[in-house]
Amino acid sequence: MSKFRIAVATNGRRGLQDTVSEVFGKANTFTIIEIKAREIQTLKVIKNPALPYEHGAGPIAVKELVDLGVDLVIAPHLGHGASSILEHHGVSVLSVEAGTAVRTAVESALESEAEQGQGDDPNKI
C-alpha cells in the first residue's frame, strides 16, 4: 500500500481519540492522517474553513481537503454537492456512524483497503 491521506470529519482536536462528527460540511474539525504501509506517518487536526458559512459548507470543506491531497474522506453522510466534487477529484468516501472513534474509523478504512488486495501487514494500524 502506498502513502495516502485520510480526512475524518471530527468534533474536536483529540486526534485518534476524537469522534466522527454528525455532519460533514459543518464538522468542527478535520483530522488529517497520512498512512504509509498501514502505519500512521503524520496526524494533524485542522479547523473546518466552512464553519462560518450558513449554506454550501460541504463544497467549501471539500475544496480544502482536495487542496491538502486527501485520498479518502470518512464521515457519516455527505451532501450531493460535496459527493460530486470528491468523485470528480478521485477522492473515495467511507461512511461510518457519527460518534465512532477516529481510531476505529481509520482501522475500518485500512481493513477495507486490505480486503481490496492493496494492504500489507494486517496487524499494523
pLDDT, tens only, 57-105: 999 999 999 999 999 999 999 999 999 999 999 999 999 999 999 999 9
Q: How many domains does the chain have?
A: 1
Instruction: Answer yes or no: is 124 within a domain.
Output: no
Nearest to 95 by CA among 18, 44, 20, 28: 20
> pLDDT class for 119, splitting at 50, 70, 90?
very low
pTM: 0.89
Instruction: Answer yes or no: is 88 within a domain.
Output: yes
What CATH number is attached to the domain comprising 111? 3.30.420.130
Residues 6+ apart with CB under 8 A from 72: 4, 5, 6, 7, 91, 92, 93, 94, 109
Residues 6+ apart with CB under 8 A from 30: 7, 8, 9, 10, 45, 46, 48, 61, 64, 65
